[in-house]
Amino acid sequence: MRTGRLAAAEFFGTLWLVLGGCGTAVLAATFPATGVGFLGVALAFGLTVMTAAYAVGAISGGHFNPAVSVGLWAAGRFPGRDLPVYLMAQVAGAIAGAGVLYAIASGSPAFDLQAGFACNGFGAHSPGHYAMGSAAVCEIVLTAGFLIVICGVTDPKTGLRDMGPLAIGFALTLIHLISIPVTNTSVNPARSTGVALFERGWAARQLWFFWLMPTLGGTLGGLVYRALTTSVRTRRRVREEAVPTAGQQSSPA
């Protein structure tokens, strides 16, 4: 029962993320005269993760992203035994979201699946034709930063957990504003998988990259946050041990 609830929440959240974010990119970004452009797409991804986290985050934690799940595990904030359930639910949700998007988009005579379908790419398939090395740095660093933000705002010690989805949504918006020209912004292997399976060409061939780099970045971010908080706890413990208790204080002569 518990596993089913977790999987359902992650499935819905990832579906919503792909439909809202990729849907805006495919249906609204370049709509004649009134397209929302890069800014609109970036906001759409941020809004979808924020709203989904508020909706079902209390059930599953609101990961919606394999790189986030792996990163939280690396940070010591998520049990490894739940990783398979989360990853399968996230990929299934992303495929379902891409399927809904395809059903909508294919109803237009102007729809062209080969135009990209909001897929992620590098080299010739990067929006700005950025090389693989640049794309790798972009995905690793931004995913690492995303994990540090997530860990920080959801840490019980910060007292910011109620604001977590809002901060995470803004962080994802910022990440998209930076990286849409570079890779069309992945930082999420499930999001990349859902649309790539429908494109079935170059995007599927480059999909390995958008599993490897965000996962490396998420792991790095989780480990960095864990190291930072461990260091803080160690310094606090040293200070506490250095202060003598009342019973330890020497009495005046």
Q: Cα(20)–Cα(2) distance, rounded to whole angstroms?
A: 27
- Cα 27 to chain centroid distance, Å, stands at 22
Residue 253 has pLDDT above 90, yes or no: no
Task: Say if residues 10 and 57 touch (Cβ distance below 8 Å).
Answer: no
Residue 47 has pLDDT above 50, yes or no: yes
Residue 25 has pLDDT above 70, yes or no: yes
* Choice between 1 and 65, residue whose per-residue pLDDT is larger: 65
Q: How confident is the model at residue 235 (pLDDT cuts 50, 70, 90)?
A: low
Q: Which tokens sit at 43?
A: 């906001």
Cα dihedral angle (141, 130, 40, 99), rounded to 10 degrees?
-90
Alpha-helical (H) ranges within the chain are 2-17, 23, 37-60, 66-74, 83-105, 132-154, 164-183, 189-199, 202-205, 207-242
CATH superfamily of 2-103+117-238: Glycerol uptake facilitator protein. (1.20.1080.10)
50-104 confidence digits (pLDDT tens): 999 999 999 999 999 999 999 999 999 999 999 999 999 999 999 999 999 999 9
216-230 confidence digits (pLDDT tens): 999 999 999 999 998
pLDDT of residue 250: 44
DSSP string, 146-158: HHHHHHHHH-GGG
Amino acid at 89: A
Q: How confident is the model at residue 33 (pLDDT cuts 50, 70, 90)?
A: confident
How do the domains of the chain map onto residue ranges? 2-103+117-238
Task: Say if residues 49 and 166 touch (Cβ distance below 8 Å).
Answer: no
Residue 251 has pLDDT above 60, yes or no: no
If we measure between CA atoms, which residue out of 46, 43, 42, 41 comes closest to residue 31?
Answer: 41
